[in-house]
Structure 1
Amino acid sequence: MRKKWMAMAAAAVFISGCSSAEPANEQSKRNEINPLTGIESSDTSNRAIAVVVSNHPSARPQTALDEADIVYEVLAEGGITRFLALYQSEYPAEIGPVRSARDYFIELADGYNALFLAHGYSPEAQELLLSGEVDQINGIQHDGNVFKRDASRTAPHNSYIDMDEALRVAEQKGYNMDTVPSRLSFLSEEEEQSLSGEPAEEVRIRPSSNDLFESVYQYDGDSYNRSIGGADVKADTIFVIEADHRVVDAKGRLDIDLTSGGDAFLIQKGVRNLVKWRNQDGRIVPYTESGAALVQGTTWIHIVPASRGLNKAVEIETDREGNGS
């Protein structure tokens, strides 16, 4: 499999109402803004940490998904999904259950220069992780210290990260944990209030025919709420992109094209807009000719197969009139 994450070309500068040149005093304020949420914070000096989290029914409810700044939900084999959860604004004490890596999870994490944590790997992911080019800690080598087993659950859905141990091992390995990711583009509060589009009160996302992995979000007038096996999470932006998926081996492992761009739904503040997505320096971001950006807060990014298409994968329900698009 080609190593797309290593050959990724930088995309054009991301256009948004928030990306224009700023006076010096505004630039100093940027140091107090969390780069992945756009929210003011007293400490923004952390390196991002990316964790592969199971979404198997036996792994629910998960621990600390609600504390992530950005979550990708992506297909693995057999129509099931896994999460790549990114933590930068705060590090939870425990995260899990943790599952094995795929090369496209490493690709996504690399866009944020994140420390990559998983328990196990596909052959392609193993080659990348053991090359020495990725800062990573894996449960294959660190089961029992960084990755603790929960006796109340059955393997492989019982591996949890002990964050204190993870940071200790990262220090032992000489990883720099003060490398702050560059800031994403966010709407101002005024821009958030003026958002328009097709109304979107309830959002259902089905990346495959497996109903066990349907995502249902309800808008509460401010953000979108979702329950996963009894664990509640919140999304301020829901970004659903379609990308080419290709089965590459007898076990059903996938190659996902994360570089070519394509159509996407950007769902924020109770409205949906059809936009484009593109890969900007390894990050999946929304794009329109007139500008697009994230709402301040937590972002959930769903990657669905282009063969299924947005209109089949995403169902929108509403009980009010839209603002116009």
Structure 2
Amino acid sequence: MHTSGIKRPVAASLAALTLVITAACAGSGGGGATPSPDGSVTPTTSAARADVLAVKIDNVAPARPPTGLENADLVYVEQVEAGLSRILAAYSSDVPSVIGPVRSARETDLELLRQFDKPTLAYSGAQSRLLPSIEAAPLDPLPPSKAPNAYFRSPDRAAPHNLYLRPEKIPHDSTDVNAAEDIGLRFAAAPAGGTPVDERTVAYPSARFTFTWSADSGRWLIGMDGSPARTASGERLGTANVLLQNVDVHPSRFRDRGGNTTPFTETVGSGSARVLRDGTAYDVSWERDTAASATEFTTNDGKPMTFADGQIWIVFVPK
């Protein structure tokens, strides 16, 4: 995203100049140096952080297939008005040239994105009563009104399912950091135990997601509303991991234009979840103490759950 340099007065002595250079390096996120009590300088390194671009993506039938969804590090699925669903995709390690269709933000997104360090949220708009909350949230809101050159309407679809984002116009580039790892999720060998499973389905009142294990491709193939989900290039949409997180969902104070109440998904708290990886299901627990903390997923023996290399879909399942 946008970076700014650190300007400091140039000292006359070589020692002062050294401190200036090392302080500037530390401020820019690279290797730096820390003065010791005796005046010596000890080299230090700073861990890279994800630069997260979160995009609200439309996934009703007229909006399919999505563009760029297969490149996301994390894909969140949440229930919205009238029992439908909406996707929030988080990008950092691999940001595609086009993402969409882009749709409107929800209150749930604001609390969910607190796990990341000031992410950018790309969305088509929001209910007027929610706008003050978006502006006050610790994120960089990016509707078309703030970056008109980064969005375009495709002539291949009818509005409102035809709004797309060009991340390079923000600008927002790929990083070497996976957004999942940035919030503490670990990619490693599978834990012991688990139960072999071929398929799992999550149903909302007006939406359904099916995840079917494909040993040939080593992925969970995704179905939406009973039909195979595909990418914009026609390939089957699949993921290495599926996390079915049991949550409380209750009515919020917001409504859509049709008068339907907007659900709010509680992502702070604790509960049970099921992780699908490598054709196996694992029962885990989840806990998130505050909105500013990341969600922890642990196995029955209290160890952090590990995930297979690749994308993670987190589907919020109403209790």
* TM-score computed with the length of structure 1 as normaliser: 0.70
Partner residue of 2:243? Answer: 239
User: Secondary structure at 1:128's aligned position in 2?
Assistant: helix
Max radius of gyration: which structure? 2
2:309 counterpart residue number = 296
Alpha-carbon deviations, 1:285-319, whole Å to 9, x = none?
4223431232222100000111xxxxxxxxxxxxx
Please state whether the residue corresponding to 1:99 is helix, strand or coil. Answer: coil
Q: Residue 267 of structure 2 aligns with which residue? A: 258
Aligned residues: 254
Gapped regions of structure 2 (runs ≥ 5): 1-43
Label 1:201 to 1:252 Cα distance change in 2 as closer, same or farther (>3 A).
Answer: same
Q: Which residue of 2 aligns with 1:224?
A: 220
Partners of 1:220 and 1:179 lie apart in 2 by 28
SS of the aligned residue for 1:184 comes to: coil
Matches for 1:8-47 after TM superposition, within 5 Å: 47=51
For residues 156-180 of structure 1, the C-alpha deviation after alignment (integer angstroms, 9 at most, x for no partner) is 1110001121217x9xxxxxx9999
Structure 2 match to 1:197: 194
* In structure 2, distance between residues paired with 1:267 and 1:132: 32
Q: Kindly tell me: are residues 104 and 183 of structure 1, through their superposed partners in 2, closer, same or farther at Cα, counting changes over 3 Å?
A: closer
Distance 1:132 1:252 in 2: 22
Q: 1:284 is matched with which residue?
A: 295
Equivalent pairs: percent with the same residue?
A: 22
The more displaced of 280-289 and 78-87 is 280-289
Partners of 1:219 and 1:297 in 2: how far apart?
A: 15
- CA deviation after TM superposition for structure 1 residue 230, in Å: 3.0
Say which structure is richer in strand. 2
Instruction: Determine which structure has greater relative contact order: mean sequence separation of CA pairs < 8 Å that are 6+ residues apart, divided by chain length.
Output: 1
**CA apart distance, 1:134:** 2.3
By how many angstroms is 1:108 displaced?
1.8
Structure 1 residue aligned with 2:125: 120
1:277 and 1:285 in contact (8 A); partners too: yes
Task: Quickly say closer, same or farther: Cα 1:263–1:137, change in 2 above 3 A.
Answer: same
CA contact (8 A) 1:102 1:124 kept: no
1:80 aligned residue? 84
Q: Is there any run of 5+ residues in structure 1 with no aligned partner, and where?
A: 1-26, 32-43, 171-176, 307-325
Match of 1:130 among 135, 139, 164: 135
Two-structure CA RMSD over aligned residues (Å):
2.9
Q: Which of 138, 150, 153 is the equivalent residue of 1:149?
A: 153
The CA distance in 2 between the partners of 1:218 and 1:52, in whole Å, is: 26
Q: Distance in 1 between matches of 2:192 and 2:116?
A: 27
Question: Displacement, 1:213?
Answer: 3.0
Alignment partners' CA distance in 2, 1:209 and 1:276: 25
Contact 1:74–1:82 under 8 Å retained in 2: yes
Q: How many angstroms apart in 2 are the aligned matches of 1:218 and 1:45?
A: 32
Alpha-carbon distance between aligned partners in 2 of 1:68 and 1:178, rounded to the nearest angstrom:
13
For the pair 1:101 / 2:113, whether they are aligned, the reply is no
The one-letter amino acid paired with 2:184 is: L
Q: 1:122 to 1:215 in 2, by over 3 A?
A: farther
